[in-house]
Amino acid sequence: MKKYEYLLGTSLLLGSFTAPLFAEESKSLYLSIGGGVNFISDIDAEYEGTTGTFETDNPFIYSIAIGKEFNDWRLEFNYLATTVTSDSIKVTVGGNGSTATITPDYEIGVSSYMLYAYKDIPGDSKFTPYFGAGLGVSSLSQDADTYSIGGAGSINVSEASESVFTFGLKGGVGYEIAENTSLYSEASYMNVASFTTDAGEEYDSTNSFVISTGLRFSF
């Protein structure tokens, strides 16, 4: 039921958020393809009284988006995907914590489906700064596994497949390299909501700072 509540709430918020854009005259469609680095917070989870903090790496992300221009505004559907991994964990029991390597590496797949609204700030040069905000849903998936902790113990993690509410903020700059092609570079912040698996494992919300670049093709 929570999944449908997230989707319904997101749809209503996006409707009110993007309605002013459609009052503007439509100019063109565009497609963008990009990639970058995701600086994601550690993943905190509660396993029957034991808190586990997976210390994450900075994974590569890729994104594909299709959008429409409305004068100085843009409305965009954006797909982003990455796999977050960890080779160490901090385990806290009864207020006492210790950090150790884990075997095998922990992995969780993340796919985000976002709707963004952007405001372009055109000037006299080929550079066009922009900023925007978006709402959507992230699909999270992990396999069930038993992780050996420094050879001195283990922790069991259940299989999970969840869809959770996500919001994001972006700022960047585009540079026109041809009549219908622009190079862009941007920084973004994303927050993925907390969730509880069917097995009762509780995961805190995570924060990501993404630095990316790519190409945008107008048609």
The total of other beta-carbon atoms located within 10 Å of residue 26's CB is: 12
Report the alpha-carbon distance of residue 204 to residue 169 in Å, rounded: 20
User: Looking at residue 90, what is its pLDDT?
Assistant: 87
Q: Residue 15, SS3?
A: helix
pLDDT tens-digit map of 131-187:
999 999 999 999 999 988 876 678 888 898 999 999 999 999 999 999 899 999 999
Question: What DSSP state is assigned to residue 205?
Answer: -
Taking 80 as the threshold, does the pLDDT of residue 95 lie above it?
no
Domain of residue 137, residue span: 2-218
Q: What is the pLDDT of residues 174-203, one digit of tens each?
A: 999 998 999 999 999 999 999 998 888 999
Whichever domain contains 14, its CATH number is 2.40.160.20
User: Would you report the helix, strand and coil content of the chain in percent, each value rounded to 5?
Assistant: 10, 70, 20
Given this model, what pLDDT does residue 94 score?
67
- pLDDT reading at 3 higher than 50: no
Residues composing the chain: 219
Mean pLDDT of the chain: 87
For the chain, what is the domain count?
1
Residue 32: closest CA among 68, 59, 60: 68
155: number of CA atoms within 13 Å, CB side? 27
Nearest CA to 18 among 168, 135, 163? Answer: 135
131, amino acid identity: F
**Region of poorest pLDDT, from 114-118, 124-128, 156-160:** 156-160
Chain segment 16-60, per-residue pLDDT in tens = 444 544 444 445 899 999 999 999 999 999 887 778 899 999 999
